[in-house]
Amino acid sequence: KEAQEKYVLYGSLGFAVLLIALAFVAYKRKKSDNKIISEQKELAVFQREEIEEAHKEITDSISYAKRIQSAILPPDNQVKSLLPNSFILYKPKDMVAGDFYWLEKKDDKILFAAADCTGHGVPGAFMSLIGHSGLQIVVEQQRINRPSEILSRLSQIVAGSLLPEDGEDKIKDGMDMALCAIDTNTNTLEFSGAKNPMYIVRNGAVE
């Protein structure tokens, strides 16, 4: 009977030790898992904060680029002064755009253009800046006011600005444009287009 009691006691003690050992292992594993989960949460929060910061920097940069691009567009008072019976519909797809319009008075001619650059967003915006500065160079510095000649010179400037690196394929970016000139002395309209036509509404008919 004493031997049986000893066996029961030892067995109970052994079982208790086994339970304690299992509980300790489970506790250590849970603690380790909790540490891993906590580290993963911290990493996820850190990565989210990094992404948010990068997104803010990109958005701020694009917003500033929009301000720069908006500054090259003719102000409303200039448009109304030179073309009183006109209106402009300008709805870019992205915050910055590859489309732009241009207006300038040179001598006795009022020049205006609508341009559609290849690409949209940031790449298109770069092209619009090249197109705008090219127009200013041709009209202001080279003093050309004939639409066909302006487009021809502008084409050379754009091509020269996009020379490919050695060994690379030729860059095919550019812009479509409709360019007009109103002679204020003769009240005549000159037009030249690069893949963009001109529509005239006269007496209710579209030509």
The two tokens of residue 50 are: 């990094």
Q: Are 98 and 129 in contact (CB under 8 A)?
A: no
Taking only the tens place, the pLDDT of each residue in 2-41 is 777 666 677 777 777 777 887 777 778 888 878 888 888 8
Residues 6+ apart with CB under 8 A from 136: 104
- The residue length of the chain stands at 207
Q: pLDDT digit string (tens) for 88-133? A: 999 887 788 889 999 999 989 999 999 998 766 777 888 888 999 9
Residue 171: what pLDDT? 60
Q: Is the pLDDT of residue 203 over 70?
A: yes
Segment holding 188, helix H or strand E: strand 188-194
Calculate the alpha carbon distances from 154 to 14, 109, 177 in Å.
94, 18, 11
- Tell me: the pLDDT tens digits for 53-73? 888 888 888 888 888 888 889
176-197 per-position pLDDT tens digit: 999 999 999 999 999 999 999 9
Question: What residues contact 195, with CB distance under 8 A and at least 6 apart?
Answer: 176, 177
**Spatial CA neighbour of 147 closest among 116, 109, 176:** 109
